[in-house]
Amino acid sequence: MLITTNAIVLSKLRFRDNDLIIKCYTQEKGVVSFLLRGVLKGKKGSSKIAYFQLLSQLQLVLTYKSGRSLQSIKETKLNYLYSSLHTNVLKSSIVMFLSEVLSNTLQEEEQNETLYSYLEHTLLWLDAQSEFANFHLLFLLKLTKYLGFYPDTSNIDAAYFNLYEGKFEMKSSNKYTISGENLILLKQLLGTTFDALPSIKINAKQRQSFLSMILLYFELHLGSFKTPKSLQVFNQVFS
């Protein structure tokens, strides 16, 4: 059947000589993968590839067949033309890193309107900003709300946070309990919005430490999660 849906590009993979496999998070069907035949051949194909940059926001008309692992796209158009997300070096590094995280964490073929809206609006926010060094930290933290393991803030004044349990505690109970700078920053980020994010000032070392912590948090709560391959390059860019 034909379905028209908004979609965000999560990954692209070369297949055979001239084909691409594109994975998208769609508004109507959740995660869907597509086979684009012949797009790496000739100028006509290269114009199609331009649509499928990582985290691009598209409108797709697709021929959807339930149970098929690779669907086919009938029509593609841009929903938004980013002004800086793919041209600013720092922002494109964030895009590469977050697309890998999202491709890793979003697996299921099911509709989730609130998650789609979150991705759509936060990417547009990032595209419009000139101060965004901590964007990925708040993005990942708030993403846990849609993935089902957002920190329990009912005891937020406690001196420790248990990554394994996802809650604040009065004492250290296991090796996954954090305190110190990471705890302070966690509490700050839990109490802020994207618009207020520039007011949180941390250095590169603190940023990397907190990122390592939140990726461990993902790993503890998502059995299939793997540390992104782009992490090392990403940290170098933001050091």
Quick check: 64 and 3 in contact, CB under 8 A? yes
pLDDT at 44 over 60: no
With the CA atoms of 146, 148, 151 and 152 taken in that order, what torsion angle do they form, in degrees rounded to the nearest 10? 120
72-130: pLDDT as tens digits: 999 999 999 999 999 999 999 999 999 999 999 998 778 899 999 999 999 999 999 99
Q: What is the per-residue pLDDT across 190-224, written as a single tens digit (0 to 9) for each?
A: 999 999 999 999 999 999 999 999 999 999 999 88
Exposed, middle or buried: residue 170 (CB in 10 Å: 0-12, 13-18, 19+)? exposed
Question: What pLDDT band is residue 47 in, cutting at 50, 70 and 90?
Answer: low
Which residues touch 164 (CB under 8 Å, ≥6 apart)? 174, 176, 220
Query: Which residue segments constitute the domains of the chain, with CATH numbers given?
Result: 1-81 (2.40.50.140), 84-239 (1.20.1440.120)
- pTM for this predicted structure: 0.94
H or E element that contains 183: helix 180-190
What one-character DSSP code corresponds to residue 199? G
Tokens of 174: 């296991």
Q: What is the mean pLDDT of residues 57-71?
A: 91
What local confidence, expressed as pLDDT, does residue 119 receive?
A: 98
Q: What's the mean pLDDT in 141-165?
A: 97
